[in-house]
Structure 1
Amino acid sequence: MILLYLLAVNLAAFAAMGLDKSSAIRGVERIPERTLLTLAAVGGSFGAVAAQQVFRHKTRKQPFATWLLVIVAVQAALVLILTASRAAG
C-alpha cells in the first residue's frame, strides 16, 4: 500500500513539474511553488527531482531549489533512521 502511494505521489509531482514548465513556456497561469514543494514533501521528492532534470525546470530558481534539496535530505535521513532502527530491533 505504501509503495502504491509513493508511486502515485511521485507521478503527481513529476506531472505537476512538467505542467508548470509547459505553463511557463506558454506564459499562462503557473502552479504555485508551494504546491510543487508540498508534493515533494509528502513523498514525491524523487518525482520532483527527476522532473527538474528532465524538463530543466527550476534548477536554479531560489529558494525553490534549496527547499527541494532540504526536503530530499530530510527524507533520505528518515529512510536511513528507519532502516537502521528496523535492523537493530
Structure 2
Amino acid sequence: MIYILGYIILASCIACLIMCIDKQKAIKQKWRISEKTLWTFAIIGGSLGILVGMSLFRHKTKHRSFQIGIPVLIMLQTALLIVILQNMS
C-alpha cells in the first residue's frame, strides 16, 4: 500500500510541476507542453497534481475537458484505489 501512495504522490508532484512549466511557457509565448501529455500524466496517477496545478497557477481552468474531466478522473481513480486496497486485505 505504501508503494501505491508513494507512486501517486510522486506522479502528482511531477504533474503539478509540468503544469507550472506549461503556464510559464504560455506566459512567455514559447513552445508548450501538449494537452495530451498533461492528460497522460493525469491518467497514470497524477490527476491530483494536475488539479492542484490548475488551482495554483490558474492554468487550463477555462478548458471544459480539464474542468470536468480531471475531477471525474480523480473520482474514478479513488474508486479504483479503494477496490485495490480492499482486495489487498
Normalising by structure 1, we get a TM-score of 0.81
**1:38 pairs with one of 40, 46, 57:** 40
* Backbone CA RMSD of aligned residues: 1.8
For structure 2, the residue ranges without an aligned partner over 5 or more in a row are: none
**1:71 pairs with one of 57, 73, 80:** 73
2:55 aligned counterpart, secondary structure? helix
Tell me what 1:15 maps to: 17
Report the Cα distance in structure 1 between the residues aligned to 2:85 and 2:8, rounded to whole angstroms: 17
Normalising by structure 2, we get a TM-score of 0.81
Give CA-to-partner distance per residue, 1:4-30, whole Å, 9 cap, x none.
322221111000000111111111111
Deviation of residue 33 (structure 1)? 0.5
Q: Kindly tell me the number of residue pairs found equivalent between the two proteins.
A: 87
Deviation of residue 59 (structure 1)? 1.2
User: Following TM superposition, where does structure 1 have runs of at least 4 consecutive aligned residues deviating by more than 6 angstroms?
Assistant: none
| Identity value in percent | 34
1:21 aligned counterpart, secondary structure? helix
Tell me what 1:80 maps to: 82
For structure 1, the residue ranges without an aligned partner over 5 or more in a row are: none
Q: Is contact 1:33–1:64 with CA below 8 Å preserved after alignment?
A: no
